[in-house]
Amino acid sequence: MPPYTGADAGAARALTEALQAAARAANEACGGDPNEAPVVFFPRRAFITGADAAPMDAPGSASGGLDTDAADNAAGLTRPGAAGNREAVGAGDPAALGRPSILPTGGALKTTVKAEQARKLLSRNDSPDIPFDQAVNPYRGCEHGCVYCYARPTHAYLGYSPGLDFETRLIAKANAVEALRAELAKPGYKVSPINIGSATDVYQPIERTWKLTRGLLELMDETGHPATLVTKNSLIERDLDVLQRLAERNLITVYMSITTLDSAMSRTLEPRASAPWRRIQTVRTLARAGIPVSVNVAPVIPFINDDALEQILEQSAAAGARSASYTVVRLPWEVKDVFEAWLHAHFPDRAQRVLHRIEDMRSGRLNDPDFGTRMRGTGIWADLIKQRFQVAMRRLSFRAERPVLSCEHFVPPQQAPRVSRREQVEQARREGQLDLF
């Protein structure tokens, strides 16, 4: 989709100003300061237009984290509202990280990364419709900025907004590898595949420098522990060596998420993720290296990307993907507000049709929290998507079942010696990383 220009840019800016004015009025009605920056739960990139868009950093620049795969070509990198209208910075001021987010009114939006020490990393899951029972997330928030992301509401638990803050105020669990090592070393630990990245994309741009995901994979390799990994970023190719070692022992499956083959659509829907053609290329690279790859067509959004279902499966199969799955868009909590704002900004001609069709597949609601139906939906339209998917799966000879990973190679890790806080600070001083503390 082309960037907003002329009348469209004015309309988008007017919508932004109206939303901010409404938020200020609501703030004043609740006894707050009417001049205080309002909290508005909408993703920034949908509204950066014209003069408000800052030039993008050059690939490999010191401002950091720019994924050169995020756009199709150099020209695409400078488009208003494209993937990189922001600047990555370090840990920054902790007080600034807690400030409420507002829609942008000009200038580059900074991405800040704050380090935290995690007490534990493993999270348990007993949901019957999720194919894993434990997961790890080395980061909180995600720079990809996917408008539909179901993990956005998790940022509200931290006092941040699920809109701008989820994309720009990121947290890195600096001791992620050490925390997981300690949990795997416990005497009562029972091995089962760990999903890496259930509530964040573990190959988002900041992984390029933090390398927490690589550290986790190296721990999986060291201990012979099975894992699954979900991403939509081609940075995963950096870790081809450790992924190959895991694949040789049937310890890994990679799930590549592909929502569309239209690069312009991808730049508005998931602006900091790798371009669709690049993800297909990554599927091919992983498959040729002997690493099992599955493709997630997720989410399917009616009248937005549902027409691409078969094409995505065809190109994924040709690239070497072994299996596939899909989900229908779901809009829990604040995700509904984020998605609706994006929809009205980018597709005003069909916004109501999209929302009504989602309601048709969600028993009259925009979100269905029930196990068994929340992922695929119900009703005639959900059944039609299911039938199309099943026909394509059979035609392309995709495996219907998920790969079963081996648990027989696991050996508990050696517990790393405990390092005191003073020793951590001294080591950080020697390595020039004291600002992380």
Which of 272, 228, 266 has the alpha carbon at shortest distance from 246?
228
Which of 166, 351, 311, 144 has the alpha carbon at shortest distance from 231?
144
Which of 200, 204, 217 has the alpha carbon at shortest distance from 137?
200
pLDDT of residue 367 exceeding 80, the answer is no
Q: Say whether pTM exceeds 0.85.
A: no
Q: What are the CA-CA distances from residue 87 to residues 36, 55, 204, 320 (Å)?
A: 24, 10, 14, 36
pLDDT per position as a tens digit, 273-311: 999 999 999 999 999 999 999 999 989 999 999 999 999
The backbone torsions φ and ψ at residue 323, rounded to the nearest 5 degrees and listed phi first, read: -150, 175
Of 86-100, 274-288, 361-375, least confident by mean pLDDT is 86-100
pLDDT of residue 77 exceeding 50, the answer is no
Strand residues in 117-197 grouped as ranges (E): 123-124, 134-136, 139-140, 169-173, 194-196
Count the neighbouring beta carbons within 10 Å of the beta carbon of residue 198: 18
Question: Highest-confidence range of 81-85, 95-99, 303-307, by mean pLDDT?
Answer: 303-307
* CA–CA separation, 204 and 231 (whole Å): 8
pLDDT of residue 69 exceeding 60, the answer is no
pLDDT of residue 62 exceeding 50, the answer is no
| pLDDT for res 366 | 72
| pLDDT for res 38 | 39
Ramachandran area for residue 197 (φ above 0: left; ψ -120 to 50: alpha; else beta): left
Are the CB atoms for 19 and 103 separated by under 8 Å? yes
The residue-averaged pLDDT of 233-241 equals: 98
Q: Which residues on neighbouring strands pair with residue 173, listed in sequence order?
A: 116
Domain-by-domain residue ranges, the chain?
A: 43-436
User: Taking the domain 43-436, which CATH number applies?
Assistant: 3.80.30.30
pLDDT per position as a tens digit, 177-192: 999 999 999 999 999 9
